Amino acid sequence: MTLGLIAGNGRFPFLLLDAARAQGQSVVIAAIREETDPEMDRRAAEDDGITVHWLSLGELSRLIELFHKEGVQKAVMAGQVRHKQIFSSIRPDWRLAWPPAGWDSKLPWPIAANHPWTRLAVRASCRMACARPALWV
């Protein structure tokens, strides 16, 4: 199974990446350009099971298309996204600008990927990083 990792800032994305790789999972990282540590590129260069794609905040369509293309069906979010980034630099794409009926527009863009029309399941990162990571499904 290929895991999608939506990576914010800090060390937590790296901890989840290590946990997934220890389980033998391939990982496709959607690195948030304004937040994620550039070291993600180095980690991907050292491990064929890691692919990194850099996205800006608000690129929900690109995130969904990327994960579908890479065969990702389950994803986790890890790391912080600073509020000043969310409210100052976000440039919403068409899926955020014209959401479908029933959309709760108060949801941040990665959480919105859990909406049924995306066909992605965004899981709680704490399940992936728990003491018994094999229980993550």
Q: Cα separations (Å) of 48 from 52, 55, 92, 105? A: 11, 20, 32, 37
Structural domains of the chain, count: 1
The answer to whether 66 touches 30, Cβ cutoff 8 Å, is yes
For residue 58, the enclosing domain spans 2-135
Query: pLDDT 10s digit of each residue in the chain, 137 long?
Result: 899 999 999 999 999 999 899 989 999 999 998 899 999 999 999 999 999 999 987 787 888 889 999 999 888 888 887 755 555 655 656 555 555 555 454 444 445 555 555 666 666 565 555 544 443 44
Total-model pTM: 0.73
CATH code for position 43: 3.40.50.20
